[in-house]
């Protein structure tokens, strides 16, 4: 029968392939963005791979290291329901590529069917001839010893020998030389940005170098600030983060407590960048010279601390760019430059950059140059101020360009803004993101939020950095909860999130005075004045902070986010969760009383499987904060926490050192 006369259009092109590869994970926004991992962290890849009919399929993960033209192939194992899985461990920083391929496994299909016929006592003479041809074809594609082995097997099959049917080694050789055409390939090449290890786990300490002067009222220098470093290192932090260190503008400079008129001695906000002495690549003379900064950085590194700089893309009216590149600012019809505003609020001390400028490409180049200048000076972590007020595409381009030169340069997004905006910045390349942790305070809020953060899609693209306070944010809870709430928030930040930080002296000393009721601004904020901190005050949290960071260092379970699991409690004021190290050997269980005022008790319902404990086994729990040890058994455990003593347990879960039989022997 011929085709009918009707002219047939074919909206879908013909494709001869019979294998389907789909639903590849991990994948962020259909591959639009890379996932995130660190060197040595496993990437578990899964995909649905299947064909029509009953033929066997095989699948492989293809992986390419940055700069390496070769593709590594890793066989994928069949799992349940047409899902295949394999993993790889990136051993270097940079953008790795991966995808999944699948093909018909003709030999496996033939071998399986023929074996079943043999088992059923059927005549397989013709089947063996088919197999001989399959193996012979593979021999033609093969080289060296494989070719010989395949030729031998083909001859044996042709001669009616069923031996090759049970020869797994032969099966592997045939697989190596199998005809895979037409191979099916996932429609997208996926990427993983592989960072150095600190991206996965870090504890940050923020402080103002200028507040480290040797006497009241004297502006601290880098040399003074270096004196603070041994203490910060001793507390177990990994990163010291400094507010901007550039010359501070004088025009419309803000005074203490953010008053509009600065007094003659007022030091101004470090975020008011740019003065006669220079802009984003210069150093505030009162802090010292570039050499002083380098010495500070080296001192930090000598103590195992990395220095993070602030990157705030904004200018005072005194910034050199205002003269040199006036086209980068918005001009009003009256000839003035548009200052920052959020009507009716006005910020006349700040000129925002106009990213809509026609000279945008030169602007982008210059901003990239700023970052690269500091990279050349040894800075490899940037805390980016308000990235959400600059174009997303700019950041995606900038971060990729910097990381193409040095993949070890890392960026923390300070985007306290709407969720979609926050998530987009993470997806496009920011290493870490500040989070809503700061305002998530009830057990249910924390449970819901951290569940979202530690499950796909966010877990693959968004690395939370939990901060209980910042120089901009003294929450109502910290203002009114007393010391207990500082302890509680520290434990939560440091154990819920592998990356966390504190605005240091203020947090250590439980500073809780707001500039006025209803405000989250600190009274006498260091943003606008020098502060002297009595770091040896008896109420300092230094010892607790040190202990918490020691626990983080000793327990790999706490050094990643992905394994977080919440356990049910029967008291809404108790939050219970566990984390497990990738090898399963280290398990930490945390219980926090989130009520800073009252003793709370209740039963927790343990997911023993997540804790790696058999239902009928006794197991030891050791409170790393308080030192107590308990032997627990079963899914229920009773806890009681007094916020005025310590509002949390951080338990290491011990495997039973003896079998249950031993216990019985002693009973």
Binding positions for a copy of itself, 552-571, rule CB under 8 A: none
Kindly state the smallest distance separating residue 62's Cβ from a copy of itself, in Å: 20
By CB atoms closer than 10 A (0-12, 13-18, 19+), residue 155 is middle
**Counting contacts by CB under 8 A, is residue 294 touching a copy of itself?**
no
Nearest residue to 471 (alpha-carbon basis) of 546, 523, 411 = 523
20 vs 175, which CB is nearer to a copy of itself? 20
Ranges within 449-508 binding a copy of itself (CB under 8 A): none
393 lines the binding site for a copy of itself (CB under 8 A): yes
Please, what is the minimum distance in Å from the beta carbon of residue 144 to a copy of itself? 28
Indicate which residue of 414, 508, 561, 586 is catalytic: 414
By beta-carbon proximity to a copy of itself, the closer residue of 359 and 572 is 359
Q: How far is the CB of 476 from a copy of itself (least distance, A)?
A: 23
Q: Which stretch binds a copy of itself (CB under 8 A): 305-313, 385-393, 526-534, 646-654?
A: 385-393
Q: Which range in 68-76, 224-232, 366-374, 462-470 contacts a copy of itself by CB under 8 A?
A: 366-374
Q: Which of residues 130-189 bind a copy of itself (CB under 8 A)?
A: 130, 133, 187
CA distances from 477 to 445, 519, 594 (A): 14, 12, 11
Nearest to 559 by CA among 497, 618, 503: 497
Q: Residues 37, 186, 246, 388: which binds a copy of itself (CB under 8 A)?
A: 388
Q: Identify which of residues 187 and 636 has a Cβ nearer to a copy of itself in the complex.
A: 187
Applying CB under 8 A, among 246, 390, 489, 579 the residue interacting with a copy of itself is 390
Closest CA to 541 of 503, 584, 586, 589: 503
- Rounded to the nearest whole angstrom, what is the least distance from the CB of residue 561 to a copy of itself in the complex? 23
- Of residues 72 and 116, the one with the C-beta less far from a copy of itself: 116
Smallest gap from residue 139 Cβ to a copy of itself (A) = 17
Length of the chain: 667
Q: Vertex 208, ends 207 and 212: CA angle to 5°?
A: 105
- Residue 107 CA to residue 125 CA, distance in Å, equals 16
Distance CA 114, CA 162 (A): 9
Cα 19 from Cα 128, distance rounded (Å): 26
Active site residue 195: no
Instruction: Determine the interface stretch with a copy of itself among 201-209, 355-363, 521-529, 609-617 (rule: CB under 8 A).
Output: 355-363
Q: Which of the residues 385, 511, 526, 573 is marked catalytic?
A: 385
Binding to a copy of itself (CB under 8 A): which residues in 401-420? 401, 404-405, 418-420
The DSSP bridge partners found for residue 622 are 629, 652
Buried b (16+ CB within 10 A) or exposed e, 249-272: bbebbbbbeeeeebeeebbbbbbb
d(CA 403, CA 192): 13
CB of 223 to a copy of itself, least distance (A): 26
Element spanning 588, H or E:
strand 587-593
Q: Does residue 414 have an active-site annotation?
A: yes
Q: Whose Cβ is closer to a copy of itself: residue 130's or residue 223's?
A: 130
Q: Which two tokens stand for residue 296?
A: 């500070």
Residue 662: both structure tokens together: 């031993």
Binding residues among 311-340 for a copy of itself as defined by CB under 8 A = 332-334, 336
- CB of 30 or CB of 537, closer to a copy of itself: 30
If the CB atoms of residues 10 and 536 are measured against a copy of itself, the closer one turns out to be: 10
| Residue ranges in 92-121 that form contacts with a copy of itself under rule CB under 8 A | 95, 112-114, 116-117, 119-120
Contact 91, 176 (CB under 8 A): no
Write out the two tokens for 135.
């193996």
Residue ranges in 1-40 that form contacts with a copy of itself under rule CB under 8 A: 1-4, 6, 8-18, 20, 22-23, 29-32
Q: How far apart are CA 104 and CA 122, in angstroms?
A: 25
Contacting a copy of itself within 202-261 (CB under 8 A): none
Element (H, E) at 443: helix 443-453
Shortest CB 397 distance to a copy of itself, Å: 5
* CA 384/CA 367 separation, integer angstroms: 12
Give min distance, CB of 292 to a copy of itself, in A. Answer: 20
Q: What is the per-residue DSSP string for 122-183?
A: ---HHHHHHHHHHHHHHHHH--HHHHHHHHHHHHHHHTT--GGGG-HHHHHHHHHT---PSP
CB of 10 to a copy of itself, least distance (A): 5
- Residues 93 and 408: beta-carbon distance below 8 Å: yes
Determine if the peptide bond prior to 457 is cis (ω within 30°).
yes
Residues 606-635 that bind a copy of itself (CB under 8 A): none
User: Which of 96, 204, 106 has the alpha carbon at shortest distance from 500?
Assistant: 204
Asked if 277 is part of the footprint of a copy of itself (rule: CB under 8 A), the reply reads no
With beta carbons less than 8 A apart as the criterion, state whether 514 and 569 touch: no
* Shortest distance in whole angstroms from residue 641 CB to a copy of itself: 35
373 binds a copy of itself (CB under 8 A): yes
Q: Is the peptide bond before 252 cis (omega within 30 degrees of 0)?
A: no
Helix ranges, 474-620 (H): 476-480, 482-496, 504-508, 542-554, 608-611
x/- map, 47-76, a copy of itself, by CB under 8 A: -x-x-xxx----------------------
Q: Give the residue with the Cβ less far from a copy of itself, 281 or 546.
A: 281
Smallest distance, a copy of itself to C-beta of residue 134, A: 11
When asked if residue 397 is in the footprint of a copy of itself (CB under 8 A), the reply is yes
Interaction between residue 665 and a copy of itself (CB under 8 A): no
Query: How far apart are alpha carbons 530 and 511 in whole angstroms?
Result: 15
Exactly one of 108, 257, 303, 355 binds a copy of itself (CB under 8 A); which one? 355
Size of the site for a copy of itself (CB under 8 A): 83
Which part of the chain contacts a copy of itself (CB under 8 A), choosing from 194-202, 289-297, 367-375, 602-610?
367-375
Per the listing, tokens 């790795």 go with 96
As annotated, the active-site residues are 385, 414
């Amino acid at each position: 029968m011929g085709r009918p006369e009707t002219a047939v259009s074919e909206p879908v092109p013909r494709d001869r392939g019979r294998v389907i590869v789909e639903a590849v994970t991990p994948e962020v926004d259909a591959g639009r963005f890379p996932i995130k991992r660190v060197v040595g962290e496993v990437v578990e890849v899964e995909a649905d791979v299947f064909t029509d009919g009953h033929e066997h399929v095989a699948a492989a993960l293809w992986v390419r290291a940055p700069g390496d033209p070769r593709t590594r192939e890793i066989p994928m194992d069949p799992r349940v329901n047409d899902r295949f899985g394999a993993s790889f461990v990136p051993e270097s920083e940079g953008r790795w590529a991966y995808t999944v391929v699948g093909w018909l496994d003709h030999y496996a299909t033939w071998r399986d069917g023929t074996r079943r016929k043999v088992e059923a006592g059927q005549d397989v003479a013709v089947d063996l001839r088919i197999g001989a041809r399959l193996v012979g074809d593979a021999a033609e594609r093969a080289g060296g010893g494989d070719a010989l082995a395949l030729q031998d097997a083909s001859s044996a099959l042709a001669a009616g020998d069923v031996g090759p049917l049970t020869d797994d080694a032969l099966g592997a050789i045939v697989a190596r030389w199998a005809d895979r055409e037409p191979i099916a390939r996932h429609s997208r090449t996926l990427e993983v940005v592989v960072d150095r290890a600190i991206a996965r786990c870090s504890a940050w300490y923020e402080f103002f170098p200028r507040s480290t002067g040797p006497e009241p009222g004297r502006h601290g220098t880098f040399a003074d600030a270096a004196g603070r470093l041994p203490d910060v290192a001793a507390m177990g932090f990994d990163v010291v983060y400094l507010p901007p260190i550039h010359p501070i503008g004088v025009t419309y400079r803000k005074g203490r407590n953010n008053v509009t008129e600065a007094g003659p001695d007022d030091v101004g906000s470090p975020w008011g960048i740019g003065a006669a002495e220079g802009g984003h690549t210069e150093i505030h003379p009162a802090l010292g010279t570039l050499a002083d900064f380098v010495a500070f950085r080296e001192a930090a590194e000598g103590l195992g601390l990395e220095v993070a700089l602030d990157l705030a893309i904004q200018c005072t009216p005194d910034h050199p760019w205002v003269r040199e590149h006036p086209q980068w600012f918005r001009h009003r019809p009256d000839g003035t430059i548009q200052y920052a505003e959020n009507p009716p609020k006005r910020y006349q001390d700040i000129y925002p950059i106009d990213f809509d400028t026609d000279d945008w490409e030169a602007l982008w180049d210059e901003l990239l140059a700023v970052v690269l200048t500091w990279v050349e000076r040894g800075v490899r972590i940037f805390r980016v101020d308000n990235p959400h007020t600059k174009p997303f595409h700019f950041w995606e381009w900038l971060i990729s360009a910097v990381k193409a030169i040095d993949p070890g340069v890392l960026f923390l997004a300070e985007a306290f803004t709407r969720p979609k905006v926050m998530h987009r910045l993470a997806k496009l390349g920011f290493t870490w993101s500040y989070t809503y942790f700061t305002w998530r305070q009830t057990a249910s809020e924390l449970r819901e939020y951290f569940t979202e953060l530690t499950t796909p899609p966010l877990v693959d693209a968004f690395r939370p950095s939990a901060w209980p306070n910042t120089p901009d944010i003294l929450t109502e809870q910290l203002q009114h909860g007393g010391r207990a709430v500082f302890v509680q928030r520290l434990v939560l930040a440091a154990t819920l999130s592998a990356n966390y930080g504190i605005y240091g002296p203020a947090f250590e000393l439980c500073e809780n005075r707001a500039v006025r009721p209803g405000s989250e601004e600190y009274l006498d904020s260091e943003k606008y004045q020098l502060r002297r901190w009595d770091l040896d005050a008896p109420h300092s949290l230094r010892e607790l902070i040190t202990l918490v960071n020691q626990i983080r260092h000793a327990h790999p379970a706490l050094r990643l986010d992905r394994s977080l699991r919440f356990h049910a409690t029967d008291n809404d004021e108790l939050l219970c969760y566990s984390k497990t190290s990738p090898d399963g050997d280290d398990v930490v269980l945390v219980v926090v009383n989130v009520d800073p005022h009252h003793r709370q008790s209740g039963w927790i319902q343990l997911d023993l499987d997540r804790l790696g404990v058999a239902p009928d086994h006794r197991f030891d729990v050791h409170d790393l904060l308080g030192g107590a040890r308990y032997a627990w058994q079963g899914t229920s455990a009773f806890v009681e926490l007094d916020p005025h003593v310590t509002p949390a347990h951080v338990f290491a879960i011990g495997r039973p050192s003896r079998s249950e039989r031993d216990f019985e022997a002693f009973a």
